[in-house]
Amino acid sequence: MENKKFDVVIIGAGPAGLTAGIYLSRAKVKTLILDEGMPGGQIILSHEIANYPGVENVSGYALASTMKKQAETFGCVVKRNAKITNFDLSSEKKTIEINNGKEIFETKVVIISTGGKSRPLGIPGENKFKGRGVSYCATCDGDFYQGKEIIVVGGGNSALEEAVALTKYAKVTIVHQFDHFQAFKHAIEDAEKNDKIDFIMESELQEINGDNVLEYVTIKNMKTGAISTKKIDGVFVFIGYIPNTEMFANVLNLNERKEIISNETLETNIKGVFVAGDNRNKKIRQITTAVSDGTIAASNAIEFLNSL
């Protein structure tokens, strides 16, 4: 099969990858974006985004769709349902194979923007009821719980913001392992003033129980050790992320959290391979920081191409 040639191939179509695609294509760089699923990454799971500068109260899906359209308008090729099955990043002519060899792409530069995935609780019953009582996406599943009672697990921005969004459908109880939240002040205030939200602090879910449907959860108070049960219809989990870097573990330098290590230009340990977004070594993970990464990686990719 003849290789299809591009100047830059971007792996991952979240905000970082789409932003890189916009900048590269606008600079007349022949660019391809590959994504295993639907372009947009984790932001398509957000019911409402209110802190993206210049944009008021937009859904994650709508924002992602606009980014994709912008990239394609400038000539970027965006290919969805593209599962990477083999690749060579070390050679000067880098190759990426998708869908068991159905297509092979040759490129001079690769930008890895594979993002992350929701971190599971890792407790009994979670896998059994995943997709039928246990969810990691308020936007996807919230309306299934109209008039019911649900638990939201977590204490960061995502947990509190999605808990507030879920009150449009259900009565919400937030369960958090500490006596304080790690979210921004406004997110905490919004949750605390919402009369459809209760709080169970310094506690953890121990087990998710039921026969054919989720019926109740077991909760442990981390301070006293007391065990209790609570009848519930659904559990929404927002306790962080795991970077999608498994396929690069033996190729790129990763830190102890499995994030890709890069320098200030966002270049990895391999020349011509850059990283952008939530899969790289950084502290703050927001849409704005992902977009910033995409801009930086694209700009330095252009500089690298010009040096060849």
Which residue among 237, 260, 281 closes a domain?
237
pLDDT at 2: 55
- Token readout for 31 is 């660019």
Q: Are residues 97 and 22 in the same domain?
A: yes
Q: What is d(CA 151, CA 162) in angstroms, rounded to the nearest whole number? A: 11
Query: By C-alpha distance, which of 163, 134, 175, 8 is closest to 75?
Result: 8
User: 104 and 131: one domain?
Assistant: no
pTM: 0.81
247 and 112 housed in the same domain? yes
pLDDT band at 132 (very low <50, low <70, confident <90, very high): confident
What span, in angstroms and rounded, lies between the C-alpha atoms of 33 and 8? 9
The CATH number that applies at residue 177 is 3.50.50.60
Closest CA to 14 of 280, 238, 272, 264: 280
Mean pLDDT in residue range 141-145 = 89
| Active-site hit among 88, 140, 179, 198 | 140
Look up residue 288 and give its DSSP letter: H
Catalytic-role residue among 7, 35, 76, 141:
141
**Catalytic residue status for 278:** no
> What is residue 59's predicted lDDT score, i.e. its pLDDT?
87
Q: Which domain holds residue 203?
A: 120-237
- β-pairing, 197-200 vs 171-175, is parallel
- CA–chain centroid gap for 103, Å, is 26
Please tell me whether residues 210 and 247 are part of one structural domain. Answer: no
Q: Using the 8-state DSSP alphabet, how is residue 295 labeled?
A: H
SS3 16: helix
Q: How much is the pLDDT for 6?
A: 97
- Is 76 assigned a catalytic role? no
Spatial contact of 47 and 59, defined as CB atoms under 8 Å apart: yes
Closest CA to 99 of 87, 84, 77, 112: 84
Same domain, 229 and 248: no
User: Is 140 labeled as catalytic in the residue annotation?
Assistant: yes
Q: Do residue 41 and residue 131 come from a single domain?
A: no
